Amino acid sequence: MRPINLTLRHGETIALVGRSGSGKSTICQLVPRIYDAVNGSITIDGVDVRDLSLRYLRENIGVIGQETFLFHNTIAYNIRYGRLDADQAAVEDAARAADIHETIMMLPDGYDTVVGDRGHRLSGGERQRLAMARVLLKDPKIIILDEATSALDSRTEAAVQRSFEALMRGRMNIVISHRLSTIRDADMIYVVHEGEIVESGTHDELMRLEGHYSALCVSGDDIVRERLEVRA
């Protein structure tokens, strides 16, 4: 991968877009130190992530992916996994913020409901809202959304997206989605092509360029999945 310079400030959202294999996933994985940078550096508040303990770093990063991993345990346990010392009131506050509390209370066992292996007893939207509640309870500085709504139908995606907006408010956010509705309001969109950033700007600015980004967009409020992905 060629040299890349990106800046993400508190309260901002960036999106990285490009074809599969262009390097987006690698950038995403460098932030929580799944891999360490061989050259250059990743810094948070001016501090190289390699100088931070893994525990501190990952406590300050929340990731929601396409498939939410849920334990074969209760709903309360799965939310509390974001902060194991949280009391029940904090768990319920996080669920309310993720707009899942009322749904939970309609279940026969409420927060004591066992979700099943990988949460198979819940719908895709419900699983994503539990993931949001878990991250809200964790209260990290950085949020990474990795195709978090790609498995949802458009109606559910729209509802979950509204909850994501509340989750992301006041944090540093990296958005990963093939859907235009998810990335068009990002403060900055970076287009990655063959290991380098070839375009950057807001959605409107990039559309006016009529370059890589606009070529990948299609009419309507979506982006062709096979042609455009958003990963950091």
Give the C-alpha separation, 137 to 83, whole Å: 6
Q: Which three-class secondary structure state does DSSP give residue 18?
A: strand
* Residue whose pair of structure tokens reads 């890349």 in the numeric block: 4
Number of compact structural domains in the chain: 2
Give residue 220's domain range: 1-60+141-232
Sign of CA dihedral 210, 214, 220, 224: positive
Which ranges in the chain belong to alpha helices (H)?
A: 24-30, 54-59, 75-80, 88-97, 101-105, 124-138, 154-168, 180-183, 203-209, 212-216
- pLDDT at res. 3: 67
CB 183 within 8 A of CB 189: yes
| Same domain assignment for residues 100 and 155 | no
52, 139, 143 from 167: Cα distances, Å: 25, 9, 8
Task: Please provide residue 128's backbone torsions phi and psi, each rounded to the nearest 5 degrees.
Answer: -65, -35
- Segment 61-116, tens digit of pLDDT: 998 887 788 999 999 999 999 899 999 999 999 999 888 999 999 998 999 999 98
The residue ranges of the chain whose pLDDT is under 70 are 1-3, 151, 178, 218-232
Which CATH number does the domain housing residue 113 bear?
Answer: 3.40.50.300
| Same domain assignment for residues 147 and 232 | yes
Sign of CA dihedral 184, 186, 189, 195: negative
| Same domain assignment for residues 52 and 107 | no
- pLDDT at res. 221: 42
